[in-house]
Structure formats: C-alpha cells, structure tokens
Amino acid sequence: VGTDQIKPCLLLIDIQNDFIHPEGVQTNRGSQKFTETERQQIIGNNLRLLNLMRQKRLPVVYVKSLRGKDRLIDTASAKAGMRKKGMEYRADGTWGAEIVAELTPQPSDYIVGKRGHSAFGTTHLHRMLRNLGVNFVIATGGSVVGCVGDSTREGVGLGYRMTLVSDATYPPEKRELAYPALASRLEVRTTDEVIAWLDGSTRLRLS
C-alpha cells in the first residue's frame, strides 16, 4: 500500500507539563521516573515527527488531558491521591495542562481536550479526523499503559489504521509491558522507521 492511498495524521497524546516536565505534578509526586535523557529522547523524536508532518502539510493533532478542580466534570476514574478538591493537576487553563514548550502547537495544528482516558471517547476527534480525510493515525505520547493504549485500541475499533511510535511514547519502563499486547492490533514502529516511510523510502505493513 503506497502513501498516496492513505491520509495520515500525527496524534500527540498527553504531552503536557504535568506529565513530563521536571516541575510537573507527576514528576514531583514520583509517578514519572524517567531520566532527563529519556525525556529529551521522547521530546526530540516527537519534534522530528512534527517538523516532517508540517513540512508535508499533513494534519497534526494534539490531545490534552484536562481535569476539573473538583473532578465532577471528568469521565476518567481518579487516583486516590488526585481526588482532593482544588488540586490543579491538569486543570484546564493551568500551566500543568499546557503542552510542553518544546512541542508548542502551531496555528495550523489542531487541539482536542479530553476528560477521560481515550482520545476518542467523549471528544469530537473521530468526526474531525473524518472531516480531514484521515484514515491512518501515527500515535505518540503517553501513557502506553493508559491513555495511549486506550486511544489506539479504540482507534482501531473505529476503523483507523494505527502506528504507535515506540520511542516517542512514555513511560519508557512500561513499553515492554504494553507493546506486545498492542502489537496484536496495530503496528509498533520507531521514529526512524516512520520518518523513512513518510519520506517514501520504505513501506510499512499496515494493520
């Protein structure tokens, strides 16, 4: 299958300050344990993909996980330590909910806010991708055992061909746990492989 027969988009899931910035809530609470080198690899690989997608004028979609301060408007279950009323963890409009500065969205990009785990559940993402003519999704971000896993599985169920970029996701220590299960439903590729495919030098076997 050639790239002329498909319309890809890049879907960046939950690459926000509270998740991966050194001063974000997850890091301060010890929930994220990856090193600065690993963090820079994740951000760097996403930036490489972003630059190529924008160069080719292909859709880039950011998905932001947003929470209400009292959690009453959220559809996702809350971890026990995150249930305190007034806690600004990924609260809409706060610094923690923003995309990390290195990957700041551009005016041509799309941003979708979600209140649950899946990027598709209770959002307009599916309709938007259909309006854009997208049928192939390149997914990055996190968590591979949480929102990325839920989003890619639901995307496959909705009929999208999905590729998960293995070295542009987090947390690194969960990759070996998540990828074998996800690989039974979608493609798991490295950033180099996806870039080579987008440039037309290789062909990916589509799910």
pLDDT score for 77: 55
pLDDT score for 33: 72
Structure letter (DSSP) for residue 96: G
pLDDT score for 207: 46
pLDDT score for 200: 85
| Distance separating alpha carbons of residues 38 and 141, to the nearest angstrom | 13
Say which amino acid occupies 55: Q
Count other C-beta atoms under 10 Å from residue 32's C-beta.
22
Edge-to-edge, what's the strand order for the sheet holding 110-114?
110-114, 60-65, 8-13, 136-142, 161-170, 187-189
pLDDT score for 78: 53
Structural tokens at position 168: 């542009």
pLDDT score for 74: 59
pTM here?
Answer: 0.86
| Distance separating alpha carbons of residues 164 and 148, to the nearest angstrom | 9
- Walking along the chain (207 residues) 10 residues at a time, the average pLDDT comes out as 74 91 75 82 96 96 81 55 55 85 96 89 94 96 81 93 92 67 82 93 62
Count other C-beta atoms under 10 Å from residue 26's C-beta.
22
